[in-house]
């Protein structure tokens, strides 16, 4: 390890430098890049690659120029964009931002469920029209929520939804017995059976080869006509055309989406005009101060790296998610 470690920081072109890294300036060399050429220069003799642009694909382009990297950290929960084959096959550890966004995303999911149950979008429309209309609304208590993706974000959703009176089941790659946060955890091969009796389905699954396009026409056909679908995981897990068709045909009752196959969502997409759809701009976990929190988390892990201690939030690169210690 160099006396003054070099950290290459890859940001999005319109993002700016991450706030909160200032404590490292005196003891490390921070090299910032927001394009391929800049990253090639920054990473050449860097010890650590810090990726704050969760959509980027240029890390792979710079990989052949990285001569002494020891660790890659992503300030996002999803790492699918940077898990290119060469990195997956290398011995380098990859860590993520697990834990930072969990509760904020769970709050967003609960907010979506509340909005549907209490008809809040229609309330806003009626208020804007200056129209007084008494209505009855739904209860959340006793409703069945199925969380697709039973990792740390899924667990946070389960805890918050359970506190609000919902009965929460999960879907994971493998079934689990006696889970402390879910009444039951189904395996991925039982997805459609799990969806069948749900009042709400919240997708918090990572994007992997197994989950890409998982929520397709067959999955939506398995859901009940009164069910609402929520996606706060990764956009490509859902086939947008299948979701649009399910909404148009009444196969499901509504959807709340924070992530999309194509971002930004094109203005001509039919989802924009649907009264039973709530759309947010990939912001479910972005609470005030989240950028600083990500830097604090990275610095805490950097201290472990400095001391030769095991890193936390290490990704299982063969699976594309989760932690394998720390």
The catalytic residues are: 234, 263, 282
| End-to-end alpha carbon distance in the chain | 21
**Is 33 in contact with 11 (CB distance < 8 Å)?**
yes
List alpha helices for 235-310, DSSP H.
240-248, 290-306
Rounded (10°) angle between helices 102-117 and 152-163: 40
**Is 237 in contact with 213 (CB distance < 8 Å)?**
yes
Other C-beta atoms lying within 10 Å of the C-beta of residue 71: 20
**Is 53 in contact with 10 (CB distance < 8 Å)?**
yes
* Nearest alpha carbon to residue 145 among 123, 172, 167, 171: 167
Long-range contacts made by residues 136-141, C-beta under 8 angstroms, separation at least 24? 139/165, 140/113, 140/114, 140/164, 140/165, 140/166, 141/165, 141/166
């Amino acid at each position: 390890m160099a006396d003054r470690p070099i950290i290459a920081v890859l940001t999005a072109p319109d993002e700016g430098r991450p706030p909160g890294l200032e404590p490292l300036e005196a003891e490390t060399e921070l090299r910032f890049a927001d394009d391929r050429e800049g990253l090639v220069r920054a990473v050449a003799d860097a010890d650590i690659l810090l990726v704050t642009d969760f959509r980027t694909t240029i890390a792979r382009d710079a990989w052949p120029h990285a001569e002494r990297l020891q660790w890659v950290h992503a300030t996002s929960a999803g790492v699918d964009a940077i898990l290119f084959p060469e990195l997956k096959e290398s011995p380098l550890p990859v860590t993520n931002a697990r834990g930072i966004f969990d509760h904020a995303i769970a709050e967003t999911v609960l907010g979506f469920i509340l909005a549907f149950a209490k008809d809040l979008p229609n309330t806003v429309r009626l208020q804007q029209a200056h129209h007084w209309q008494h209505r009855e609304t739904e209860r959340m208590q006793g409703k069945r929520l199925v969380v697709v993706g039973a990792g740390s974000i899924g667990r946070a959703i389960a805890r918050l939804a359970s506190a609000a009176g919902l009965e929460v089941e999960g879907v994971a790659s493998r079934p689990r017995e006696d889970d402390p946060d879910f009444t039951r955890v189904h395996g991925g091969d039982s997805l459609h059976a799990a969806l069948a009796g749900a009042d709400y389905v919240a997708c918090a699954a990572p994007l992997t080869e197994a989950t890409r396009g998982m929520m397709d026409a067959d999955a939506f056909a398995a859901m009940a006509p009164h069910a609402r679908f929520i996606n706060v995981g990764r956009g490509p897990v859902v086939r947008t055309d299948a979701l649009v068709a399910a909404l148009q045909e009444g196969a499901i009752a509504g959807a709340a989406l924070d992530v999309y196959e194509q971002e930004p969502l094109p203005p001509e997409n039919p989802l924009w005009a649907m009264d039973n759809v709530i759309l947010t701009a990939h912001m479910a976990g972005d609470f005030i101060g989240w950028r600083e929190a990500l830097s604090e988390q990275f610095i805490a892990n950097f201290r472990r790296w400095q001391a030769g201690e095991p890193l936390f939030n290490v990704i299982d690169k063969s699976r594309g998610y989760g932690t394998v210690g720390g």
